[in-house]
Amino acid sequence: MQYFNRALKDSPDNADTYNRLGFSYRKLEMTEKGFAQYCRALEFNPKHRGANEYLGELFLETDQPAKAEERLKVLDKACAGGARNMLN
């Protein structure tokens, strides 16, 4: 995590770094910290595809399908042709 902290110190408004940090926390099963970092990424870039996708996955992992559906709607708008088409 030290590399993420260094990156955020240099660029504290970088949505990509918050997204990657959220992914790392999620994979370490640190759910609350994962949620916080994905939300932080979305504060800087509400249409961030990675953060929306991974946040949706985290919602599914924590049995919140309605919230995951909200992320999918955001992705539908952000992706040409719609995110749902990418799933088929």
- DSSP secondary structure, 12-78, as one string: TT-HHHHHHHHHHHHHTT-HHHHHHHHHHHHHH-TT-HHHHHHHHHHHHHTT-HHHHHHHHHHHHHH
Residue-number span of the structural domain to which 48 is assigned:
2-87
The CATH number of residue 34's host domain is 1.25.40.10
What confidence score (pLDDT) does residue 88 get?
45
pLDDT tens per residue, range 51-70: 999 999 999 999 999 999 99
Is pLDDT at 1 greater than 90 in this prediction?
A: no
User: Regarding predicted confidence, which is higher, 84 or 48?
Assistant: 48
Percentage of the chain beyond pLDDT 90 is 78
Pair of tokens at residue 85: 């088409």
Is pLDDT at 84 greater than 80 in this prediction?
A: no
As for how many domains the chain has, the answer is 1
